[in-house]
Amino acid sequence: MEYLIMTIKAVVVFAVVAGSMPFIVWAERKVMADAQARIGPNRVGPYGILQSFADALKLMFKEDVTPRQVDKPIYFLAPVLAMIPALTAFAVVPYGSPEVTVYGVPIFYVTDPKQVGVLWVFAVTTLSVYGVVLAGWASNNKWSLLGALRSAAQMISYEVALGLAILGVVLGSGSLSLIDIVEKQAVPRAFGIPGIWLFAQPVAFLLFFTASLAETNRTPFDLPEAESELVAGFHTEYSSFKFAMFFMAEYINVLTVSAVVATLFLGGWLGPGVGQFPLLGVVYFALKTAALIYLIMWLRATLPRFRYDQLMRFAWKVLLPLGLANVFITALWVGLRGGT
Amino acid sequence: MSAIGNAIRQSLAILKGMGVTLRHILREPRVTIQYPEERPKQSFRYRGIHQLRLDENGKELCVGCNLCGLVCPSECIYVEGAETDAPEEARVSRYERYALVYVINAARCLYCGYCVEACPTDALAMTPQFELGEYQKRNCIYDKEDLVRNHRRWADQAGYGIEWCNPAKLEEWTGDAKPVGPPSHPAVEP
Amino acid sequence: MTEWILFIVLTAVAVGSALMMVLNRNPVHAALWLVLTFLAVAVFFLVLGAQFLFAAQIIIYTGAIMVLFLFVVMLLNLEREREPIVTGGQRAAAVALAFALLAVLVIAIAARTSFPTMAMVPGGITLTDLGVALFDEWLLPFELASILLLVAMIGAIALARRRT
């Protein structure tokens, strides 16, 4: 029974996440258009909101070209591997107050493994590199391979910063469970500052956000696909639905990153009035996630791409020491206060 | 210490950049033209497809000299000149010489306007018409009839080579800019 | 019963993919089979109630170490299936060493009188248990291991530096 409920919740979450993907793509195109004095898609549906559906249909019916001399099994596996981790991370994210129950079953999270929690998010995001790396290698194409190599090095470098950033929050909260982490943020700090980790752990927030952008290959860390140098990077040789899967993976990743940052640093479902109306929590969570998605798009409209050496230097010489210092200071603070 | 200073300066630079984008998002006017509904405003010397002009009596001005064909860099103009002894009323052209065949291959044309420059009688000019898409390449080849039809349709519009043939419209078309040199044949209403 | 099915499936996946890894000629394919092995082992940890080890296994082995492996394989061996030059003597030595290792393992396992059966630890091993074990009971070995890693890292950097 427990597993059945979990499965139902997982399917619903999958549907919502996958279903919101076209709208995120549309939103990004609109935001980019805004920043570039253009209008953006406005033909299909009101304000062009159905543009993504039209594009998806087009991609589905396009010819699926498989170049000769690709490594077939891996070539077919890679897009799937790119999509799965992004979706799986949602398993532990609470998107509403756990107090809301239907027939005694809390409906606003799929599962809450107390001993793994945020580590699960971290673990699946580290797996997302395989899709990119294998796609690049299996394509048997110079540009793709270069994209894959960059991606591998980039992911490994930024994982370290990501882990250290999470550690700051986990140390402060004293739990790995995302629900516990959110509930920890409910208590306001001194001078009426909200208890969200954004204010208590600003360094961790910046580290996590930056490293997440790098992990999901978003601008300014989009070196693996760097269209101005590498044609399209790792997905150069992909067409039709397989390309669409990479595309979807990227935007689901954006959604995942935003949801996780909202949970870890912005207090997830917390907000004024949630105590009386627990259903409001979903709205707050959605708003925070949407704001972060907008921030990611805004950054894409603003920042140019890193050069490769800058990328590496930034990871190892800026983010890593900052992360270590943050963990050290947090641990000291937690220790001096005598536990969390 | 300088490293920290650099880091702070660079972080501020990112914020500044985001401020710039935000300003554009909020205030920048959109430059997009909703094309089929909205038309782009063209320059008064826009070089679209050609037209073969007629004079006030509806006679062709072209004398079939093939100067346009000679000067054409992509060699897309073919002219066959001919002469006639017929009286002026019976002629198609204003002159004794006229173009028997006049063909422009618009698929090869690069719209440089040299042909218009070369024309001694100002018979050839260009129109602002840029919508020249065709499904068949052979439809891109314009004969004399097509080019005269272009004149009938576009003569009251500005276009390369015609802008100063229409002194009445000059002000509207050019604004301050004054075209150089007088026309050998002033414009006529189509 | 469920545990047995789980155990058999997981073992089959782990051993099978490990075999595929060894037998595969293509280095990238071999690396991928190794990833599958690691994932199967991670699920073993999960089944045994060691949730933290499960996450750590995925993060460290599949997420970081294997990616580095792939990186190196792609960087070095771009022509697929090129056999490294191995002499007969090396081959014989490798076989002998493998059997020696197997013998040591078998003897070590046989020397133990009883095996803890595969059982679900109630509630699983908590993080607190793990932390206490690492930083209290086994502090010295833990720190020694970290020093060993540090030495290895410094050594690698020193070797890389000398060449340039």
Is residue B23 in a domain?
A: yes
B59 in the same domain as B9: no
Please report how many Cα atoms fall inside a 13 Å half-sphere around the Cα of residue A277, on the Cβ side. Answer: 8
Is residue B36 in a domain?
A: no
Instruction: Write down the mean pLDDT value for chain C.
Output: 81
Q: What does A240-295 look like in DSSP terms, one character per residue? A: HHHHHHHHHHHHHHHHHHHHHHHHHHS-TT--TTTTT-TTHHHHHHHHHHHHHHHH
B84 in the same domain as B2: no
Residue with tokens 């900052």: A322
**Residue A190: predicted pLDDT:** 66
Print the domain residue range for B20.
1-31
Residues B123-138: what's their mean pLDDT? 87
Q: Residue A64: CB partners within 8 Å, gap ≥ 6? A: A239, A240, A241, A242
Interface contact A34-B7, CB threshold 8 A: no
pLDDT at residue A200 is higher than 80: no
Is residue A213 in a domain?
A: yes
Is residue A61 in a domain?
A: yes
Backbone angles phi, psi at B63, to 5 degrees: -110, 5
Q: pLDDT digits over A266-325, tens only?
A: 887 877 777 777 778 788 888 889 999 999 888 888 888 888 888 888 888 888 888 899
Interface contact C59-A122, CB threshold 8 A: yes
Is residue A95 in a domain?
A: yes
Q: Do chains B and C touch (3 or more CB pairs under 8 A)?
A: no
- Which residues of A are less than 8 Å from C62 in CB distance? 126-127
A156, A163, A176 member nearest C68 (Cβ): A156
B109 in the same domain as B56: yes
Is residue B37 in a domain?
A: no
Print the domain residue range for A314.
2-16+55-336
Specify the CATH number for the domain of residue B137: 3.30.70.3270
What percentage of chain C's residues is helix, strand, coil (to nearest 5)?
80, 0, 20
Rounded to the nearest angstrom, the minimum Cα separation between A45 and chain C is: 42
Residues C22-32: what's their mean pLDDT? 82
Residues A168-190: what's their mean pLDDT? 80
Question: What tokens does A288 get?
Answer: 């925070």
Interface contact A318-B7, CB threshold 8 A: yes
B148 in the same domain as B56: yes
Chains that touch A (3 or more CB pairs under 8 A): B, C
pTM metric for this prediction: 0.79
Question: What tokens does B44 get?
Answer: 């008064």
pLDDT at residue B58 is higher than 70: yes
Is residue A155 in a domain?
A: yes
B160 in the same domain as B94: yes
Q: Mutating which of A29, A302, A316 best tests the B interface, going by the most B Cβ atoms within 10 A? A: A302
- The CATH architecture of the domain made up of C1-79 is Up-down Bundle (1.20)
- pLDDT higher for A280 or A99? A280
B85 in the same domain as B14: no
Is residue A323 in a domain?
A: yes
B127 in the same domain as B56: yes
What total of structural domains would you count in chain B? 2
B84 in the same domain as B54: yes
pLDDT at residue C148 is higher than 90: yes
What total of structural domains would you count in chain A? 1
Please report how many Cα atoms fall inside a 13 Å half-sphere around the Cα of residue C77, on the Cβ side. Answer: 15
**Residue C61: predicted pLDDT:** 87
B20, B22, B32 member nearest A39 (Cβ): B32
Neighbours of A83 (CB within 10 A): 22
With bands split at pLDDT 50, 70 and 90, how would you rate the model's confidence at C118?
A: very low
Residues B70-94: what's their mean pLDDT? 87
Q: Which of A24-33, A99-108, A243-252, B23-32 has the lowest mean pLDDT?
A: A99-108
Is residue A125 in a domain?
A: yes
Closest by CA to A12, choosing from A86, A104, A108, A102, is A108
Q: pLDDT digits over A112-150, tens only?
A: 777 778 888 888 888 888 888 888 888 888 888 888 888
Residue with tokens 């540090």: C150
